[in-house]
């Protein structure tokens, strides 16, 4: 077990959605030497900035969360960028980490690395049994290469690198940009805007038949910190809540929680993505004691309340600005 409290910890993507929660968890442990590289100062796609961040920070522990990521639409529009940027960031961060001898490198991957038709629940052993779902395959494969690199470096160099695969995350602070958001923030935004505009319908991508598993972001952050402390093996680890819900049921749940009572129109010309997603989460519980705590409905309520407060504050600030 690694005592993180007195370590110098580099958290790439530490100012992002998941990263900000990881940083808060680390602070709660008493960690004070936490460093968050900003993209404007360190473009981690370029090796010279990867080398620079290691030279400037001299970390003992690296938690690599930085990623180019988005929902189905963003993945379809940016397959090349998502592949290249994620591959280069991860590969270079791990390589220089190996060269300078960091104590632990925590590579955070994605459930998108799994084959499209993986048997449910997804077990880590199934990871190589097929090609990922086409719309997010470039992103998923770029991230999966970090597992290959991690295992190869452990075998050849004795490098302590671990690979975690979180399921779809959600929670306060999520990305609500309709061009790049994932399904939960996209649905919350649609329902709330429809209600505010007195619209009697919303249009949702796909058929509603696909299933997804969702993990509250604070739970995911806890899992990452626990793994950073307690896990030191080559095998990848699923990070999830261990359930699945059809998108149709999810839409109805969010509509109910937001108070939207209009019609839900399904646009079947748009892709569903992977047919089913649910993880086997037993390895995370066995290896480092992680079990998700936040029920979906409670997590959705917190996320909706945060988003409503955010748009309310924006509206107030805009009125103040207009008066000036």
Query: What SS3 class is residue 246?
Result: strand
Give me 308's structure tokens. 């409503």
260 Cβ partners below 8 Å, 6+ apart? 191, 192, 194, 195, 202, 254
Residues that are catalytic = 139
Burial status of residue 30 (CB atoms within 10 A of its CB: 0-12, 13-18, 19 or more): exposed
Give the span between the Cα atoms of 132 and 117, in whole angstroms. 8
Q: How many CB atoms lie within 10 A of CB 308?
A: 14
What gap in Å lies between CA 119 and CA 250, rounded to an integer?
Answer: 22
Backbone angles phi, psi at 289, to 5 degrees: 75, 25
Q: Write out the two tokens for 304.
A: 């909706």
Query: How far apart, in whole angstroms, are the C-alpha atoms of residue 213 and residue 245?
Result: 6
In terms of Cα–Cα distance, which of 206, 201, 294 is closest to 247?
A: 206
Asked if the bond preceding 229 is cis, omega within 30° of 0, the reply is no
């Amino acid at each position: 077990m690694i005592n993180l409290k007195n370590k110098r910890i580099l958290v790439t993507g530490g100012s992002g959605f998941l990263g900000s929660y990881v940083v808060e968890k680390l602070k709660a442990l008493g960690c004070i030497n936490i460093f968050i590289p900003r993209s404007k100062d360190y473009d981690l796609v370029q090796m010279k900035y990867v080398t620079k961040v290691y030279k400037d920070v001299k970390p003992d522990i690296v938690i690599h969360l930085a990623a180019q990521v988005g929902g189905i639409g963003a993945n379809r529009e940016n397959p090349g960028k998502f592949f290249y940027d994620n591959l280069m960031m991860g590969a270079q961060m791990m390589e220089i980490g190996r060269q300078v001898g960091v104590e632990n490198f925590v590579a955070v991957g994605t459930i998108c690395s799994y084959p499209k038709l993986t048997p449910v629940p997804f077990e880590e052993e199934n990871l190589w049994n097929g090609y990922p779902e086409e719309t997010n395959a470039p992103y998923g494969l770029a991230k999966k290469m970090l597992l290959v690199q991690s295992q190869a470096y452990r075998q050849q160099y004795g490098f302590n690198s671990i690979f975690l695969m979180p399921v779809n995350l959600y929670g306060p602070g999520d990305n609500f940009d309709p061009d790049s958001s994932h399904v939960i923030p996209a649905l919350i935004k649609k329902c709330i805007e429809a209600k505010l505009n007195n619209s009697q319908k919303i249009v949702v991508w796909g058929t509603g038949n696909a299933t997804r598993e969702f993990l509250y972001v604070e739970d995911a952050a806890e899992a990452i910190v626990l793994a950073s402390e307690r896990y030191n093996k080559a095998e990848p680890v699923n990070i999830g809540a261990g359930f699945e819900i059809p998108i149709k049921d999810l839409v109805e749940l969010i509509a109910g929680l937001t108070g939207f009572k209009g019609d839900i129109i399904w646009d079947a010309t748009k892709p569903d993505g992977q047919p089913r997603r649910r993880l086997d989460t037993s390895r995370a519980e066995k290896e480092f004691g992680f079990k998700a705590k936040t029920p979906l409905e409670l997590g959705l309520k917190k996320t909706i309340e945060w988003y409503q407060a955010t748009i309310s504050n924006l509206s107030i600030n805009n009125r103040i600005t207009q008066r000036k």
